[in-house]
A and B are shown apart, each in its own frame.
Chain A
Amino acid sequence: MAFLFFRRLVQIALILLGVAAITFLLLYALPADPARMIAGRSATAQTVANIRRELGLDQPFLVQFWTYLTNLLQGNLGRSYAQKTDVATLIVARLPATLTLMLAGIVVEVMLGLLLGTIAAVRRGGIVDRLVMMASFVGVSAPQFVVALLLLYVFAATLGWFPMSGYGTFAHVVLPALTLGVLGAGWYARMVRSAMIDVLNQDYVRTARAKGLSARRIIFRHALPNAILPIIAMIGIDIGQFMGGVVVVEAVYGWPGIGQLAWQAIQQVDIPIIMGVTLTSALAIVLGNLLADLIAPVIDPRIRTR
């Protein structure tokens, strides 16, 4: 087990290195010059050249990448070109908001997904099943922007139950989390449904039923824990996705997360920030998956022997 864990850590390091190299190369190859974005319109060629030199952008690719890597290994993500501040400071300042929304979003989508998926599986083929599946289909295909604005308009602007924008209190997180939850729940519902249908057809469930156990006990005690495994894996993926920023939801609700930072950095060709956010979300994805892999054997002992 310790060896496995160590191997995973090495894997993670290699993945991050790969992500760093590819992102850096892509940004380098981009036909856009960060020095010119900083210099703006009125700058002379001399000013642009000076800025380029000060940022080290006149160096060959390998030199630039090597400098970046050595700084990175010392825990230095560099300084933003446009904001002239440490990238780490900018990311850390936005982490609490990003983590809050990630957790809240996942809680909502998993609860909703489990509930709807289970109901649909139990009532398979019936009208309830069809309604739930249709709703989940609408959920997974609805644009974030529309759902976010709709919720905002109804519950914040019109009814005034929640604040329209900002961050800080529980009331602020409800609508953004609901948006993410409603949109993500569809995936979970479909997955829970098919996993539950599989499980409900298994012999031990039939045995349980034959023993005369109540339907509720069969579903929640016997079937659901066995159907939950794919959900854990999916949560691992969502952790990464939400950590990378949910640009649209953040924009609509004025949520100060990492997504807004990344979005603006891309406009400005602010390479250190783009690199920093990419690495943060890559790290979140691999950690999320690692977490899922660590939790899986706890829930399902069959995996442990593998």
Chain B
Amino acid sequence: MFKRWLRQTTVATMVALAPMAAMAQSVTQGGDVVVTFKDDVTTLDPAIGYDWNNWSMIKSLFSRLMDYEPGTSKLVPSLAESFTVSPDGLTYTFKLRKGVKFSNGREMVASDVKYSIERAVDPKTQGPGAGFFGAIKGHEDLTAGKATGLEGITTPDAGTVVFTLSRPDATFLHVMAINFASVVPKEAVEAAGGDFGKKPVGSGTFTLKEWTIGQRLVFEKNPNYYVKDMPHVDKFTVEVGQEPLVALLRLQKGEVDIAGDGIPPAKFLEIKNSADGAKMIVDGEQLHTGYVTLNTKVKPFDNVKVRQAMNMAINKDRITRILNGRATPANQPLPPAMPGYDKGFKGYAYDVAKAKALLAEAGFPNGFETVLYSTNTDPQPRIAQAIQQDLAAVGVKAEVRALAQANVIAAGGTEGEAPMIWSGGMAWIADFPDASNFYGPILGCAGAVPGGWNWSWYCNKDLDARAVAADSMSDPAKGAERTAAWGKVFTDIMADAPWIPVINERRVVAKSMRMGGGDNIYIDPTRVINYDAIYVTK
């Protein structure tokens, strides 16, 4: 009896300690890592870059006032040494870390912060991130071309930056950690003459050493980086134009360390079931929800009962199988890893009989005909077909229209155009780990405009007011209350069912056996691959 107890507890202790043993594996400095991507890197300009492959490179080239602890969504000061928030939540004062140098050798000062954020907002920059800074005083004047700077940013001395907001914004510290808030030296931007995206100068963990267009980018460790022993590798080379299947073969031969595009679906099970393969797969949760929008301005989806019936008609388990189990069924807009996600929420269970009954109640006992849009790259059309079959089972005949991404986006943003859109391939992945990022553009009234991303064209003034109220709770002490308020917005919205939340897709990255660090370094919630934190074990 005792022996059995001993054996059990020993096993239990071993299991409990295993992750700690893995963590204790010492982080080694040095090494040269090769990363591959299929798509070329478009730009490394932090005010412009918004692709998922350049996102993490920009993170490492530049620094921002705030950042996240590697592998987590915990905000920490970075270029800022400390900060204070006024009681009304309208003034943020940042004290800058001293002695931080750009890679051109000059010391970073407060006016660089002001310049960089104004540059990101300035229409001339043509950057996508201007809207994130909407709370800063003077934002409207700058975007409308009536001012050349932001009056809400002042620099009392070289080591202090003060932000004055026109409305409280509880996400403001996240905004200070987003790529668009990266600090750049003005002289380097001007010297590059519009080509700053190809000749970036920052103060991040790495500097860009070489860029051979269409072939490779070489990033070298910044020896002057202000955090000791960061980053860990001396150098990483990004090879672009690499077909995922070939990248995987090269990874197996040891030519590649990280296959950034993951594992092609056709190869996934083979790799997963091979002896070494399992160790090469990094499979992590990301802040992603795949959904079908139900256009509330197109009949019959203007009827809430029809929308609810659609929610009950979809077999989400089958869709996760199409993705080889690299996803979990979703029942609410927020993904499980997002603060505010409601674990207890049940949503609409898969129930064909109930869906049919609800459709009959809504006046469609024999169903109806509609159109389902989808992007045209695998596996999205297959998922759209699965949804089509599920809909047919309740009598709804949906024509699948698989188009290029840009055309689907255009259709979604045209009023009365697309009755249903499967979001796969362009689904929402959060810009920063805060629930508010899942609301405004895709479910709020502000996004329900021509050219917007609220493809349900759903606008609920009451929920919008609650969203504004939640975002006004900028006092960190009210954080939990705010998160709960946001969570309730997303579960309450499901009563109106503007979406069918379908799946939360996990990201898969393949890495070579010599790469160290936890899975959350390779699928970091805020930066995909965290180049600062990866390391080589031998």
A interface vs B, CB < 8 Å? 30-33, 36-48, 50-51, 53-55, 79-80, 82-85, 89-90, 93-94, 97, 149, 152-153, 157, 164-167, 250-257, 260-261, 264, 266-269
**11 A-B contacts (beta carbon < 8 Å):** A31-B407, A41-B442, A43-B130, A45-B452, A47-B143, A48-B451, A84-B197, A153-B249, A254-B241, A254-B246, A269-B406
Cβ B128 vs Cβ A47 within 8 A: yes
B213 beta carbon closer than 8 Å to chain A: yes
Q: Contacts of A97 on B, CB cut-off 8 Å?
A: 214
Candidates A38, A166, A250; contact of B239 at CB < 8 Å: A166
Within 8 A of A (CB), among B383-418: 404-407, 409-411, 413
Cβ A83 vs Cβ B214 within 8 A: no
Smallest Cβ distance from A258 to chain B, in angstroms?
9
Within 8 A of A (CB), among B409-430: 409-411, 413, 428
Cβ A36 vs Cβ B42 within 8 A: no
Q: A44-B134, A255-B241 are in contact. Are A38 and B249 (CB under 8 A)?
A: no
Most buried by B among A53, A82, A149, A167: A82
B123 beta carbon closer than 8 Å to chain A: yes
Q: A32-B410, A90-B213, A164-B249 are in contact. Are A44 and B241 (CB under 8 A)?
A: no
Cβ B241 vs Cβ A260 within 8 A: yes
Most buried by A among B39, B215, B407: B215
Cβ B441 vs Cβ A84 within 8 A: no
Candidates B132, B143, B197, B431; contact of A46 at CB < 8 Å: B143
Q: What per-residue 1/0 map shows which CB atoms of B240-258 lie under 8 Å from chain A? A: 0111011101100101000
Q: Contacts of A37 on B, CB cut-off 8 Å?
A: 406, 409
B67 beta carbon closer than 8 Å to chain A: no
Cβ B409 vs Cβ A32 within 8 A: yes
B40 beta carbon closer than 8 Å to chain A: yes
Candidates B43, B241, B243, B446; contact of A84 at CB < 8 Å: B43
Smallest Cβ distance from A37 to chain B, in angstroms?
6
Closest 7 CB pairs of A and B: A256-B214, A32-B406, A50-B123, A44-B131, A93-B213, A40-B128, A39-B128
Cβ A38 vs Cβ B126 within 8 A: yes
Cβ B195 vs Cβ A85 within 8 A: yes
Q: A42-B431, A45-B452 are in contact. Are A50 and B143 (CB under 8 A)?
A: yes
Candidates B129, B212, B449; contact of A42 at CB < 8 Å: B129
Candidates B126, B198, B243; contact of A254 at CB < 8 Å: B243
Q: Which residue of B lies closest to A260 (CB)?
A: B241
Cβ B43 vs Cβ A44 within 8 A: no
Cβ B449 vs Cβ A83 within 8 A: no
Q: Which residue of B lies closest to A97 (CB)?
A: B214
B50 beta carbon closer than 8 Å to chain A: yes
Q: A32-B406, A267-B404 are in contact. Are A53 and B131 (CB under 8 A)?
A: no
Smallest Cβ distance from B347 to chain A, in angstroms?
24
4 more contacts with CB within 8 A, not counting A93-B212, A252-B243, A269-B406, are: A51-B126, A54-B124, A82-B43, A84-B45
Smallest Cβ distance from A44 to chain B, in angstroms?
4
B323 beta carbon closer than 8 Å to chain A: no
User: Within the assembled complex, what's the spacing in Å between the Cα atoms of A255 and B195?
Assistant: 24
Q: A260-B40, A264-B40 are in contact. Are A36 and B246 (CB under 8 A)?
A: no
Q: Contacts of B363 on A, CB cut-off 8 Å?
A: none
Cβ A32 vs Cβ B407 within 8 A: yes
User: Within the assembled complex, what's the spacing in Å between the Cα atoms of A155 and B126?
Assistant: 46
Candidates B123, B212, B243, B404; contact of A32 at CB < 8 Å: B404
Q: Contacts of A165 on B, CB cut-off 8 Å?
A: 239, 242, 246-247, 250
Q: What per-residue 1/0 map shows which CB atoms of B192-218 lie under 8 Å from chain A? A: 001101100000000000001111000
User: Within the assembled complex, what's the spacing in Å between the Cα atoms of A53 and B126?
Assistant: 9
User: Within the assembled complex, what's the spacing in Å between the Cα atoms of A183 and B209?
Assistant: 39
User: Within the assembled complex, what's the spacing in Å between the Cα atoms of A45 and B144?
Assistant: 12
Q: A84-B45, A93-B213 are in contact. Are A38 and B128 (CB under 8 A)?
A: yes
B38 beta carbon closer than 8 Å to chain A: yes
Cβ A36 vs Cβ B410 within 8 A: yes
User: Within the assembled complex, what's the spacing in Å between the Cα atoms of A41 and B413?
Assistant: 11
Q: A32-B407, A54-B123, A261-B40 are in contact. Are A42 and B131 (CB under 8 A)?
A: yes
Cβ B124 vs Cβ A252 within 8 A: no
Cβ A83 vs Cβ B409 within 8 A: no
Within 8 A of A (CB), among B1-57: 38-40, 42-43, 45, 48, 50
Q: Contacts of B451 on A, CB cut-off 8 Å?
A: 33, 36, 45, 48
Cβ B214 vs Cβ A93 within 8 A: yes
Cβ A82 vs Cβ B42 within 8 A: yes
Q: Contacts of B123 on A, CB cut-off 8 Å?
A: 47, 50-51, 53-54
Within 8 A of A (CB), among B429-453: 431, 437, 441-442, 446, 449, 451-453
Cβ B250 vs Cβ A47 within 8 A: no
User: Within the assembled complex, what's the spacing in Å between the Cα atoms of A37 and B124?
Assistant: 17
Smallest Cβ distance from A259 to chain B, in angstroms?
10
User: Within the assembled complex, what's the spacing in Å between the Cα atoms of A40 and B55?
Assistant: 13
Smallest Cβ distance from B433 to chain A, in angstroms?
14
Within 8 A of A (CB), among B102-139: 123-124, 126-132, 134
Candidates B246, B409, B410; contact of A164 at CB < 8 Å: B246
Q: Contacts of A42 on B, CB cut-off 8 Å?
A: 128-129, 131-132, 431, 437, 441
Q: Which residue of B lies closest to A51 (CB)?
A: B126
Q: Contacts of B43 on A, CB cut-off 8 Å?
A: 82-85
User: Within the assembled complex, what's the spacing in Å between the Cα atoms of A267 and B213?
Assistant: 18
Q: Contacts of A251 on B, CB cut-off 8 Å?
A: 38, 241, 243
Cβ A41 vs Cβ B453 within 8 A: yes
Cβ B126 vs Cβ A256 within 8 A: no
Cβ B250 vs Cβ A164 within 8 A: yes
Cβ B409 vs Cβ A36 within 8 A: yes
User: Within the assembled complex, what's the spacing in Å between the Cα atoms of A121 and B143?
Assistant: 72
